[in-house]
Amino acid sequence: MEEAVSPLAAEAAELVTMANADPQAAVAAADALLVRSDAADDTRARAIAWRARGLAAANLMELDQAVESLEAATAAAATTGDLRLLATVQMTQGGVLSWAGESGRALAIMSEALAQLSGADRARALVQRGAVHYRIANFDAALADFDDAFPLLEGRDQMWLGNLLVNRALTRAYLGSLALAEDDLLAARSVYEDLDQSLPVAQCTQNLGWLAVRQGDLPKALRYLDQAEEQFEAIDGNPAEVWVVR
């Protein structure tokens, strides 16, 4: 049974977004909110705050702290009786475990969580699990997850659709489907442009350059890489990877 969302739980949910935008501030805010949620005996807020803290620590590459925080988040979420909340926390836990080199455990946890999710929530989880499969070169399994997620995200969550398309493009490239990979990257770049997401746009252009190298079209590769460098510089980004590929 899903609990009513308290003000503390709503505040904790905002920290999940902060964990990506400003992870250092998110850690401090989560620590403060954990004290308040303990005082209020708000287990749901505690679970979400631990999740935010774990994600923020992972973004700071403090992986031991991230894993510990997400263990605490999972334990707290399990006591709420809200299976959707538990599954959401487990998906974050699985992603962090894969970054920490525990891909087998990550996939087991993610597969357990997927059984509790449906619709767009399930699609986002499939993209996350597919990314883990991709990271350990299980390309066929990754592609299956991305293909399953695609119809559930199309027209519902454009940011996650863009993420799916990029991951599917890279997977297809490694499987040798270079034309389909290019289609996915061009579609992803269009999605990010519509969302005014300048950094992912530049990253897509860089990946198009890398893909053109694999296609053997070096003039096209250089055009994309020059364009990517301009896009990174326009947002004060770091074009170092562009230089490496070029």
Closest by CA to 44, choosing from 22, 71, 11, 66, is: 11
Check residue 4 and give its pLDDT. Answer: 66
Tell me, what's the pLDDT at 237?
83
- The predicted-structure confidence for 194-228, as pLDDT tens digits, reads as follows 999 998 999 999 999 999 999 999 999 999 999 99
**pTM for the model:** 0.82
Q: What is the pLDDT of residue 154?
A: 87
Burial of 39 (0-12, 13-18, 19+ CB in 10 A): exposed
Give the tokens for residue 89: 């926390």
* pLDDT single digits (tens) 13-66: 999 989 987 889 999 999 999 999 999 999 999 999 999 999 999 989 999 999
Over residues 116-143, the pLDDT tens digits come to 999 999 999 999 999 999 999 999 999 9
Confidence of residue 2 (pLDDT cuts 50, 70, 90): very low
Residue 1: pLDDT band (50, 70, 90) is: very low
Whether pLDDT at 83 is above 60 = yes
> What pLDDT sits at residue 58?
93
Angle between helices 7-21 and 23-40 (to 10 degrees): 160
Handedness of CA 91, 94, 98, 104 (dihedral sign): negative
**Does position 3 have pLDDT exceeding 70, yes or no?**
no
Q: Give the mean model confidence (pLDDT) for residues 94-112.
A: 93
Using CA atoms, how far apart are residues 60 and 53, in angstroms rounded to an integer?
A: 11
Pairs from 121-126 (Cβ < 8 Å, separation ≥ 24): 121/84, 121/87, 121/88, 122/149, 122/152, 123/148, 123/149, 123/150, 123/152, 123/153, 123/156, 123/157, 123/160, 123/164, 124/91, 124/149, 124/153, 124/157, 124/160, 125/87, 125/91, 126/152
How far apart CA 13 and CA 77 sit, in angstroms, is: 13
Q: Output phi, psi for 225, to 5 deg.
A: -70, -40
Considering only CA atoms, give the Rg of the chain.
19
* pLDDT score of 95 more than 70: yes
**In the chain, what percentage of residues exceed pLDDT 90?**
89
Residue 179: pLDDT band with limits 50, 70, 90: very high
Q: What is the mean pLDDT of the chain?
A: 94
At residue 236, the pLDDT reads: 87
CA dihedral sign, ordered 89, 100, 238, 125: negative
